[in-house]
Amino acid sequence: EAGVAQSPRYKIIEKRQSVAFWCNPISGHATLYWYQQILGQGPKLLIQFQNNGVVDDSQLPKDRFSAERLKGVDSTLKIQPAKLEDSAVYLCASSFTPPAVLAGERGELFFGEGSRLTVL
Amino acid sequence: AQTVTQSQPEMSVQEAETVTLSCTYDTSESDYYLFWYKQPPSRQMILVIRQEAYKQQNATENRFSVNFQKAAKSFSLKISDSQLGDAAMYFCAYSGGGADGLTFGKGTHLIIQP
């Protein structure tokens, strides 16, 4: 079974430029997450999609970050304009949402290898 | 808001020995889930073990087990018979409420000495 695919793996840009990351989740996974992992810290949830709808984007800096998941499959995360503090690894994860989730079960999250962003 | 604290930035253990990684969390919810994820240098996070808060029995997965103390809000990971492949960053994570999104701790870097 193919895992979560992300691209590009590495990106270097100047501040104030824009960048986009792409994620293709595991086939059949309805829930998709974008996390930001700054060096030395744990991942921080930016946005969570259920199919093509947003479940949680409370920690997404909406003045510069945007994300979409058209058709409920792959997703893109965009940063425009980038700041120095945006340097981080951007992790995409997906989970299968079985009927049991309605009863409070929490499915396992499967992560991609991440996209490392360096802002100069 | 929920918080997850890992107080050990780095731990070192001899191969074949046992090591325990600590995690505490803060929440006002009664129903939630706790996880330990492993992140090797390649950066792909993988699930090690999961614990449902409503279950009193501690979860076990082969050499990995947890000590879940709900009243103390503590969730430690024990790795028995440590192997070189266990070397990685280990993250404790919490999931509760209506969303599946995880709240992570800052991680513990585990070093295995041959």
pLDDT tens digit sequence for B12-42:
999 999 999 999 999 988 888 899 999 998 7
Query: Nearest by CB to B45, which of A40, A97, A111?
Result: A111
Local confidence band at A72 (pLDDT 50, 70, 90 cut-offs): confident
The partner residue sitting opposite B100, judged by closest CB among A107, A111, A113, is A107
B30 reaches A (C-beta below 8 A): no
pLDDT tens for each residue of B39-80: 998 778 999 999 988 888 999 999 999 999 999 999 999 999
Which of chain B's residues have a Cβ under 8 Å away from the Cβ of A41?
106-107
Buried b (16+ CB within 10 A) or exposed e, A23-49: bbbbeebbbbbbbbbeeeebbbbbbbb
For residue B18, give how far its alpha carbon lies from the nearest alpha carbon of chain A (Å): 24
In chain A, residues with a C-beta closer than 8 Å to the C-beta of B100 are 31, 33, 48, 55, 95, 97, 101, 106-107, 109
**Contact flag B101-A108 (C-beta cutoff 8 Å):** no
In this predicted structure, the answer to whether residue A62 has a pLDDT above a threshold of 90 is yes
CA B86 to chain centre: 13
For residues A81 and A17, what is the distance between their CA atoms, to the nearest angstrom?
Answer: 5
| Strongest mean pLDDT among A4-8, A70-74, A98-102 | A4-8
